[in-house]
A and B are shown apart, each in its own frame.
Chain A
Amino acid sequence: QVQLQESGPGLVKPSETLSLTCTVSGGSNSVYYWSWIRQPPGKGLEWIGYIYNSGGTNYNPSLKSRVTVSVDTSKNQFSLKLSSVTAADTAVYYCATADCGAADCYSLAYWGQGTLVTVSS
């Protein structure tokens, strides 16, 4: 069973860079992409971006100028960097994967528990 766990600072100052890491355990050879999604308190889900198993990336156009998603397969980790944060970036951040072996290659079969990141001075 694949498990994901987010880690990183829970508090980030305005204008700084938010950095999170997702550690994947349980092993899977059929992951199609690794993704980040966020959810502001009391609101809905917003896709941030993902990286394919081939290394290519796709980002939400509304965040593209500030987002970088990368993967380190040797450490079974993938990461999110979001620059120039403001209070509007305060949210629970989830990592998730699309696993062709668990479901199809397009939906998000596995999710981390989420981590709250607050942007405040």
Chain B
Amino acid sequence: EIVLTQSPDTLSLSPGERGTLSCRASQSVNNRFLAWYQQKPGQAPRLLIYGASIRATGIPDRFSGSGSGTDFTLTISRLDPEDFAVYYCQHYGSLPRITFGQGTRLDIK
């Protein structure tokens, strides 16, 4: 079973700053199967990045994904006030077929 561990649990930054969120897998995974989601209070998650680095339709280019093997990163180049939310990484693979990280909360400093 692949376990995804996100860090930090909470990240406090100011608008305009750069945000770097980490997702570490317990074993090496195929980049094709790594995705990132954003969830705002009271809303469903929204797909941001799939295939580790491909932005989903309509996602601003300030969001970027990178990484390989066990270490993956979601970077938000310049934080907009609407970016403060919870972010989850997700893997599709062996049973359990879909696993999520525990989430990183991005708070306004």
Contact = CB atoms under 8 A, between A and B. Distances in A.
A61 B56 contact: no
Interface stretch (B10-18, B39-47, B70-78): B39-47
B32 A102 contact: no
Contact of B96 (A60, A94, A111, A113): A60
B84 interface: no
A21 interface: no
A44 B96 contact: no
B108 interface: no
A106 B33 contact: yes
B95 A108 contact: no
Nearest to B90: A107
A58 B50 contact: no
Interface string B34-60: 010100000111110011001011000
Give chain A's interface residue range (CB within 8 Å of chain B).
20 to 34
Output the residue of B47, B54, B57, B90 with the most chain A CB within 10 A. Answer: B47
Interface stretch (A9-17, A22-30, A45-53, A81-89): A45-53
A106 B103 contact: no
A60 B96 CA distance: 5
Contacts, number: 66
B51, B92, B101: residue with the most chain A Cβ atoms closer than 10 Å: B92
Given A47-B97, A47-B99, A114-B44, A106 B92 contact: yes
26 contacts: A35-B98, A44-B102, A44-B103, A45-B45, A45-B90, A45-B103, A47-B96, A47-B99, A47-B100, A50-B98, A60-B96, A94-B45, A96-B44, A102-B56, A103-B50, A103-B56, A104-B50, A104-B54, A106-B32, A106-B50, A106-B92, A107-B51, A107-B56, A107-B92, A108-B45, A109-B56
Given A103-B56, A107-B50, 12 more contacts: A35-B98, A47-B99, A58-B95, A60-B96, A104-B32, A106-B35, A106-B92, A107-B35, A107-B51, A108-B90, A109-B56, A112-B44
- Listed from nearest, the 10 A-B pairs whose CB atoms lie closest are A107-B35, A47-B98, A111-B44, A106-B92, A107-B50, A45-B100, A58-B97, A103-B50, A60-B96, A44-B103
